[in-house]
Amino acid sequence: MNVSEMIEWISVFLILIGAILAVISATGIIRFPDVYTRSHAATKSSTLAVLLTLSGVFIYFWAVESYFSVRFILGILFVFLTSPVSGHLITRAAYRSKVKMTESTVEDQLSDAIHEKEQIEGKGE
């Protein structure tokens, strides 16, 4: 087994792990009970799945085909930067719109912080 074949296997392994994480993420989006946990599944694991898949494809093309693609690097950076931010903003919008949490939620720490802020500003009186 030469170096080129080893790099091929590494890239195949990364793509396979990315595909498995994408399936796990899709299952989490379907199975989780509320928008907050679904957003977590959609952003955390799917971001890692896309990053691993794009990294595997980048390594494959670079090592086997001798093709260095800046587009793959930009795609990796774009997903890495925008996906967690968009998930945070969607969850924040849902919270500010007073979307109900599931009954199994034990503690809402953000509610306490918002009430304290309102009392400091004088709106809670």
Alpha helices in 3-69 (DSSP H): 3-31, 35-40, 46-63
Please say if the pLDDT value at position 9 is more than 90: yes
**Average pLDDT over the chain, rounded to whole?**
88
pLDDT tens by residue, 64-116: 888 898 998 999 999 999 999 999 999 889 988 888 888 887 777 778 777 77
- Residues 6+ away with beta carbon under 8 Å from 55: 14, 18, 76
Q: How many residues does the chain have?
A: 125
pTM of structure: 0.78
- Which of 19-28, 51-60, 112-121 is the least confident region? 112-121
Structure tokens at 120: 């400091």
User: For residues 110, 105, 97 and 90, what is the CA-based torsion angle, rounded to 10 degrees?
Assistant: 80
